[in-house]
Chain A
Amino acid sequence: MSQRKNIIEVTNLVKKFGSFTANDKLNFTVPEGEIFGFLGANGAGKTTAIKILSGLSKPTSGKVIVAGYDVSKYPNKVKRNIGYMSQQFSLYNDLTVRENFRFYGGIYGLSNKAIKDKTNYYLNKLEMQEYGNKLLRSIPLGWKQKLAFSVANMHEPAVVFLDEPTGGVDPITRRQFWELIYESADLGTTVFVTTHYMDEAEYCERVSIMSEGKIVAIDSPAELKSKYGVDTMDDVFVSIAR
């Protein structure tokens, strides 16, 4: 564990909206290839932080290094090395599955051949070959989320940020989704994921829990459970995050 190098380094990150402090001096690191769970109640400041880490928003102060680059200074270098999947669905409903792959692959500068190969690879893996030319709007939500995850991974990023990727998804599809996460972590991708499902928190190597803009706990699920003397992550969450 300790010899893995850090792919995310956050030092004293502060984000203010007027007088409201959404992120209050966050400090944490995430090593390469880890599945890192970023937990917290609604409004705790998770989405704000994830937007800063992925270059969508600028920090008020503090230093954020992702994939070796300072996010404030080299946002485009960071963006080249990350994948992102937001809680609101972000593929195009009026394009087919293949057209979505082609568009995002093209924007990330993949060659035509790479786009084609990757598309076929993911469609095979998700067993969705016959859906390639279907409009995305005709596909069920859970499947769309798996597609969105694949699109976010298409350019082989060092880190993928997943902001509540499994919201509204049925338990079976959620499990399949986590299998995808494990697979990509095995291939060396760091997965930075926010979720409200505590069973999913158990799947993470380490989790942090945010409350009112601050990180109040950060450790592996097992350590956290023994530290708070409870049996489930649910109880950990309730005792910390209120």
Chain B
Amino acid sequence: MRTIIFIIRKEFTQIFRDKLMVRIIFLIPIFQLLILAYAVTFEIKNVRFVTVDHDRSTLSGKLINKFNGSAFFQYYGNAENYEEAVQLLTRNKADQILMIEPDFGKKMNTEKRGKVQVVTNAINGNAASLMSAYATSIINDFNREIIVEQNPTGFSGFPIDIKPRFWYNPEMDYITFMVPGILVLLVTIIGMFLGGMNLVKEKEIGTIEQINVTPIKKFQFIAGKLIPFWIIANIDFAIGLVVAKFVFNIPIVGSLPLLFFVVSVYLVVILSFGLFISTVTNTIQQMMFITWFFVMVFILMSGLFTPIESMPQWAQIIDYFNPVAYFVKINRMIMLKGSGFFDIQKEFWILTAYGVVMLIFSTQRYRKTA
């Protein structure tokens, strides 16, 4: 135990002596949170729409105004014909085309039905479906207004009125959804890189050889490398929570002690993963490259940006081995839903087992002899 304390003390002395390192450890996470939380959003604003109004009646003008009045749409102007509108889409001047048939207003009056066509640029499928949904909802709204206008007494609304309620994040606020995930990203990067980099640096400069001729035990060495960064990452997580709470007003519904308890276990998984990589590599370059590969795959597949449920089956199977996915899930559950230990216990025990295995791996792989 005393040996481990000597190593920890040495690590902290070295970390805090390196001013750049201190800045990296404590300032970058804050910036990361501030920038990513605002930037990483799927909300669509300012959809540029162009109209092809073949009708030019009061009614078609009303519909266009309806679009124009919405916060999501920005009116680009009216095109003479469909071809011209498509040109605008191709040249990326507009995102969506609203075509109104000739005699739209007249038909609405006489036949009680009219036709409009919506064409959406679907290069980004996600954005396209959102834009299309916005447009549809505006047209539906418009439809309802006309029915009420023309038949003020007889209309009692649609037989079924769907009013969606969004639980745990009632405003459907992306920042609320993203910030707990970004907090995970933050401790993951700190955990995966710092411990491993530190170990492989000793290999590169050769000091590890001097350590290896001492009677130090493998687990003492690994513990001495893990604990300092475990403490630092916990502090980073705490800073992140403070920023989340006071800058983004993210409600932290669940229990803080439970949150920190889970983070502590998660960090053992991530740190030993990084240390394991550093025991099988010899240079910082090799270590960084391999670690980066895992971090990328883990984060992109973690459900942070895209829901795991919509990934293909094989990808979901791979995700059983993705510690980040478990923690993103747990973190959102605790922070946004206020889940207790009972609700997260499955994910928690998997993480615990993962941590034990990785710890054994990294300790065993660390060779004191060549």
Contact = CB atoms under 8 A, between A and B. Distances in A.
B10 A95 contact: yes
Interface string A199-238: 0000000000000000000000000000000000000000
A92 B14 contact: yes
Nearest to A92: B207
A54 B213 contact: yes
B3 A86 contact: no
B206 interface: yes
A159 B323 CA distance: 47
A30 interface: no
A57 B370 CA distance: 5
A104 B14 contact: no
Given A88-B206, A89-B206, A99-B13, A56 B369 contact: yes
Interface in B291-325: none
A108 B215 CA distance: 7
Given A75-B368, A94-B14, A103 B213 contact: no
Given A86-B206, A89-B206, A51 B370 contact: yes
A86 B209 contact: yes
A217 to B, nearest CB: 28
Contacts of A82: 213
Interface in B1-32: 2-3, 5-7, 9-10, 13-14, 17-18
A87 to B, nearest CB: 9
B211 interface: yes
Contacts of A77: 215
Given A84-B213, A86-B210, A95-B14, 13 more contacts: A51-B370, A55-B213, A76-B217, A82-B213, A84-B210, A90-B209, A91-B210, A94-B18, A95-B10, A103-B9, A106-B6, A107-B3, A107-B216
A89 B210 CA distance: 9
A58 B369 contact: yes
A114 B304 CA distance: 53
A90 B207 contact: yes
15 contacts: A54-B213, A55-B369, A56-B212, A57-B370, A75-B368, A77-B215, A90-B206, A94-B18, A95-B14, A103-B7, A103-B9, A104-B210, A106-B5, A108-B214, A109-B2
Interface centre among A55, A99, A107 (most CB of B within 10 A): A107
Contacts of B2: 106, 109
Interface residues of A, number: 30
Contacts of B369: 55-58, 75
Interface string B182-207: 00000000000000000000000111
Interface in A60-101: 75-77, 79-80, 82, 84, 86, 88-95, 99
Most interface-central of A57, A106, A108 (chain B CB within 10 A): A106
Given A86-B209, A89-B206, A94-B17, A103 B6 contact: yes
Interface string B327-370: 00000000000000000000000000000000000000000111
A102 interface: yes
Interface of A: 51, 54-58, 75-77, 79-80, 82, 84, 86, 88-95, 99, 102-104, 106-109
Interface residues of B, number: 26
Contacts of A94: 14, 17-18
B6 A107 contact: yes
B320 to A, nearest CB: 38
A208 B214 CA distance: 26
Contacts of B13: 95, 99
Contacts of B205: 93
A104 B216 CA distance: 10
A58 B17 CA distance: 37
A63 B81 CA distance: 93
Contacts of A84: 210, 213
A56 B206 contact: no
Interface string B125-151: 000000000000000000000000000
A107 B214 contact: yes
A154 B369 CA distance: 23
Contacts of A51: 370
A56 B209 contact: yes
Contacts of A57: 369-370
A237 B217 CA distance: 41
A24 B200 CA distance: 32
Nearest to A86: B209
A84 B18 CA distance: 28
B25 to A, nearest CB: 16
A56 B211 contact: no
Given A56-B213, A94-B14, A95-B10, A106 B368 contact: no
A79 B213 contact: yes
B18 A79 contact: no
A55 B6 CA distance: 23
A56 B3 contact: no
Contacts of A95: 10, 13-14, 17
Give the interface centre of A51, A86, A103 by most chain B CB atoms within 10 Å.
A103
A57 B18 CA distance: 33
